Structure 1
Amino acid sequence: MNNRTLIINISTFTGEYINLNLPVEFVKRVINNNCFDFFYYREDAIDSEKLLTLINDAFKYDLTGYIGEIKTVDNNHIELSIE
């Protein structure tokens, strides 16, 4: 399953919407190089290291579909899936 895609949908409290469709192999390299810094928004709101470990584990087990979502108290929303 080398052509899987990680889909990240982000809605911010300011009304911005970001949709990322990234190849899984690329994301693995980015995670290994600690370059996924947009998840490091607020340490008290999101445990970024656990989230990235969860994503990496989903890759290891060749999971596809809905992974999960995060909603913060200030109305930021992040949704993850793998296709």
Structure 2
Amino acid sequence: MSRRLGISPREPGSGGDDDAASTTTKKTCPDIWELSNGDIAVIGRDLTDVYRPQLPDDMSVGDGERLVVIPGPMLRAAKKDIPDA
């Protein structure tokens, strides 16, 4: 892991499940990290089976892939750490 993108999931405004002081005691939280090779790691809820039947025709989840959902506020908070193309 190279660096966190955005704010800690324990900070208010991250969009974590409780998004309150009680999240500081949680051991599992959504998160976004840049790896040392430049790839991005996302920790979130695995909702592959929930969303698979609803995927558009041009979207698929391949073998070894999972559809992971993170809170919108967490991704928006990471925007400042993601360079423009």
Q: Same fold (TM over 0.5)?
A: no
Q: Which has the higher helix share?
A: 1
Which gives a bigger RCO, structure 1 or 2 (Cα 8 Å, sep 6+)? 1
Q: Which has the larger radius of gyration?
A: 2
Q: Which has the higher strand share?
A: 1
